[in-house]
Amino acid sequence: MGSKEAQPYHVDTRLPEEMGSITASRQIIGEALAARGYQGQHEDVLLVVSELVTNALVHGDGPPSLRMRADAFSVRIEVSDAGADLPRPREPGPGDGWGLHVVRLLSTGWGIAPVEGGKTVWCELAAGLTRIRPAEI
């Protein structure tokens, strides 16, 4: 009976404290999803990664860390930074952005965990089930 917490990370990297890290994180995670054979919507995972890394760069402190665990049916993304202030969901819209609202909508679960030296924002996504048509049986 293994838990997600006991599984090794497939990605565990510190990103530069620059906006180019958003693109770099999408590339890193995209390659890792393909290598792990994740069956879900890669675009959803990449959007969530973009939002979490952007939030860490804009609202956090220091260079963010990016971690991912994945298998064919589930993925967990964690982005940490040295900021002590915990993010709070805001009313989505052009003024405050869509960040955590998008994460909440696309994820099966998400949260914020204070950790020594900062915080970690995490989310989990799952591959959807595909219906089999009677003609395919």
Predicted TM-score of the model (pTM): 0.84
Within a domain: 98 = yes
User: What letter does residue 15 receive in the DSSP assignment?
Assistant: P
Range of the domain at 94: 7-128
- In tens digits, the chain (137 residues) has pLDDT values of 344 455 678 999 999 999 999 999 999 999 999 999 999 999 999 999 999 999 999 999 999 999 999 999 999 999 999 998 877 766 655 666 667 888 999 999 999 999 999 999 999 999 985 545 555 54
Say how many CA atoms lie within 13 Å of 104 toward its Cβ: 10
Instruction: Report how far residue 21's alpha carbon sits from residue 8's, in angstroms, rounded to the nearest whole number.
Output: 23
Within a domain: 115 = yes
Residue 48 identity (one-letter amino acid)? V
- CATH number of the domain encompassing residue 62: 3.30.565.10
Within a domain: 37 = yes
Nearest to 25 by CA among 80, 73, 67, 85: 67
Within a domain: 134 = no
Which token pair is 117? 């030296």
What is the number of structural domains in the chain?
1
Within a domain: 137 = no
- 3 state SS of 10: coil
